[in-house]
Amino acid sequence: MNQFRQTTPVLNRVLTGILILLAATLQTTIIRGLEVFHVIPNLLFIIVICYGLLHDDYSSLVVGVSCGLILDLFGGRTLGLNTLLCAYAACLCLSISDKLFSHNALVSMVFVLVLTIPYEVLTYLFYFVIWGKGAGWYAILCKILPVTVYNSLFTLVMHPLVKFATYRE
């Protein structure tokens, strides 16, 4: 990163909070204009994955729960589902982050690609199938796969931002 940038843990936490709030605001407003196949990228989930891979401490769980709670408050049908799924994703990234070189955007892209599928499938199951309103193939082909690809592509934009906001020496 930049050798001239000296940061403190407090500044890192403030920048992380600002990044989360900015991503939540963008996700609910401007990003809606970038719909492809009627899906938008889940910026907060991307932040959870990138942060979890970049940091091998339990602050990634706090970021996961915070982002999940914001997702629940801004658009979830049930309070807690996104919180639980984001916390599990952060926990998985936390357990893997020290075993591989995770400061690369392509590693984050692969993890977002792999973890978006169960996230979206579980969201679909809890929101639609449980109530008997579900068309499985339609959901997989027209919602889950496009949002998986879209999240992966947006990781290339979000990973440097998360790395900059949470950079530690």
Domain ranges of the chain: 9-165
Residue 6 has a pLDDT of 57
pLDDT digit string, tens, across residues 110-129: 999 999 999 999 988 887 77
Say how many residues make up the chain.
169
Q: Please give the model's pTM, rounded to 2 decimal places.
A: 0.89
Compute the C-alpha angle 49/18/106, nearest 5°. Answer: 30
Task: Say which residue the tokens 């692969």 belong to.
Answer: 110
Average pLDDT for residues 131-151, to the nearest whole number? 83
Q: What is the mean pLDDT of residues 60-66?
A: 94
pLDDT surpasses 80 at 4 = no
Helices 9-28, 145-165: axis angle to 10 degrees equals: 150
What pLDDT is stored for residue 114 in this prediction?
95
pLDDT surpasses 60 at 2: no
Grade residue 134 by pLDDT with cuts at 50, 70 and 90: low
CA neighbor of 40 nearest in space, from 119, 151, 125, 117: 151
Cα 144 to Cα 15, 37, 88, 117: the distances in Å are 31, 11, 19, 7
